[in-house]
Amino acid sequence: MPLMFDKKDVEEATFLARLLRLIFYKRRITHDDFSAMWAEYGHRLGQNIQVTNTNRNNARKTMSHPNNMTFRFMHSILLSVLRLEIEAFKIVVRTETGERVVISSDDPVE
């Protein structure tokens, strides 16, 4: 069974979509794996199969259109479907002077 996202899918995506696709790629998640995880998620919510399938298909569409990706959606997939917890989040920004600044959610507040 093919992976949900291959190397080309990851490389072509931007920012949030790339992060989520990279997680899928590194964890080697296939379409069948994702369907099984989503079915388990729907079961935990007490959803009927039709609602679960509709929501899964909508999530797949969102993941296949990178411009639709939001942090909230990505967090929901990671936490609720993949059952992963974000322990830290890092962002690299470039200032107007060209300086590269790395800020992490677990940086100490000084």
pTM summary value:
0.87
Residue 91 maps to a domain: no
Average pLDDT over residues 42-70: 93
- On whether residue 103 sits in a domain, the answer given is no
Residue 102 belongs to a domain: no
45 within domain boundaries:
yes
- With respect to residue 54, please indicate whether it lies within any of the assigned structural domains: yes
- Using one digit for the tens of pLDDT, what is the confidence trace for 75-92? 999 999 999 999 999 999
- The answer to whether residue 67 sits within a structural domain is yes
Mean pLDDT of 25-31: 97
In a domain, 60, yes or no: yes
What's the number of domains the chain is made of?
1
Cβ contacts of 18-24, under 8 Å, gap ≥ 24: 18/66, 19/74, 20/63, 20/69, 20/74, 20/77, 20/78, 21/63, 23/78, 23/82, 23/84
Determine the structural domain holding residue 49 and report its residue range.
Answer: 7-85
Query: Treating both helix axes as pointing N-terminal to C-terminal, what angle do 49-64 and 15-26 enclose, rounded to 10 degrees?
Result: 120
Q: For residue 43, tell me if it sits in a domain.
A: yes
69 vs 102, residue with greater confidence: 102
**Rounded Cα–Cα distance for residues 19 and 66 (Å):** 11
